[in-house]
Amino acid sequence: MNYYQFRAEDFAADDYFKEWVCSPDQESDAFWQEFLRDYPEKYYQVEEGKTLVEALYQINVVKADETQVARVWSRIEGSARKDGRGRFFVSSKKHFVWQAAASVLLLLGIAWLWHSRSGQRDDVATGTRLNQPAWVEQVNDAMETMQISLPDGSKIALEKSSRVRYAREFKGNQREVYLNGAAFFDIRKNPSKPFFVYTNGLVTKVLGTSFRVQARDADPDVTVAVRTGRVSVYSSNETRTQDPEARGVVLTPNQKAVFQRDIKSLTKTLVEKPTVLVEKDNLPSFVFEDASAEKVFATLEKVYGIDVVFDEELMKNCTLTIDLSDEDLFQKLEVICKVLEVSYKLIDAQVIIYSKGC
Count of the separate structural domains present in the chain: 3
Closest CA to 182 of 202, 156, 205: 156
Burial class (CB in 10 A: 0-12, 13-18, 19+), 161: middle
Q: Clarify whether residues 60 and 116 are in a common domain.
A: yes
Residue pair 38/6 in contact (Cβ under 8 Å)? The answer is no
Domain match, 307 and 350 both: yes
Domain of 213 in residue numbering reads as 135-270
User: Of 270, 289, 313, which marks where a domain is finished?
Assistant: 270
Q: What are 340-356's pLDDT values in tens digits? A: 999 999 999 999 999 98
- The answer on 288 and 232 residing in a single domain is no
Strand pairing report for 307-309 and 350-354: parallel
For residue 196, give the CATH number of its domain: 2.60.120.1440
Domain for residue 275, yes or no?
no
88 pLDDT exceeds 50? no
Domain co-membership, 303 together with 266? no
Q: What is the pLDDT of residues 181-212, one digit of tens each?
A: 999 999 999 988 999 999 888 899 997 899 99
The CATH number given to whatever domain includes residue 305 is 3.55.50.30
pTM reported for the whole predicted model = 0.64
Lowest-confidence pick of 8-22, 158-172, 300-314, 335-349: 8-22
Which residue, 243, 237, 240, is CA-closest to 202?
Answer: 237
Report the pLDDT value the prediction gives residue 285, as an integer from 0 to 100: 93
User: Would 41 be classed as within a structural domain?
Assistant: yes
